[in-house]
Amino acid sequence: MLKIGILGGGQLGRMLLQAAANYPVETYLMENDPECPAAHLCHHFTLGDIRKFEDVYQFGRGLDGITIEIESVNVEALEKTGNGRC
């Protein structure tokens, strides 16, 4: 099963997770608000800051792919994980 991460957990993240429920993927979400709209729909929630290099890097290291739900993501960390197809 693919491990797919989403950076950001607002309304778009919620819609992404609703659509992902139709596919054989394990979903991971990183957001700085544990009460964000998408938090309860993912398989795994990580509390973190999408703008901080270390948070994004640690989140994405073991994932097969990452998508972003909002701008202002640390692109350098995405590139280092090898999952940041920006």
Tell if the pTM clears 0.85, that is, is over it.
yes
Does the pLDDT value for residue 4 go beyond 70?
A: yes
Does the pLDDT value for residue 5 go beyond 50?
A: yes
The domain locations on the chain are 2-81
Average pLDDT for residues 57-84, to the nearest whole number? 84
In b/e form, how buried is each residue of 22-47, taking b as 16+ CB within 10 angstroms? eeebebbbbbeeeebbbbebbeebee
Q: CA 54 → CA 19, 41, 62, 66, 82, distances in Å?
A: 28, 24, 14, 15, 14
Does the pLDDT value for residue 70 go beyond 80?
A: yes
CATH class of 2-81: alpha beta
In degrees, to the nearest 5, what angle opens at C-alpha 60 toward C-alphas 59 and 62? 100
Tens digits of per-residue pLDDT, 20-69? 999 999 999 999 999 999 999 999 999 999 989 999 999 999 999 999 98
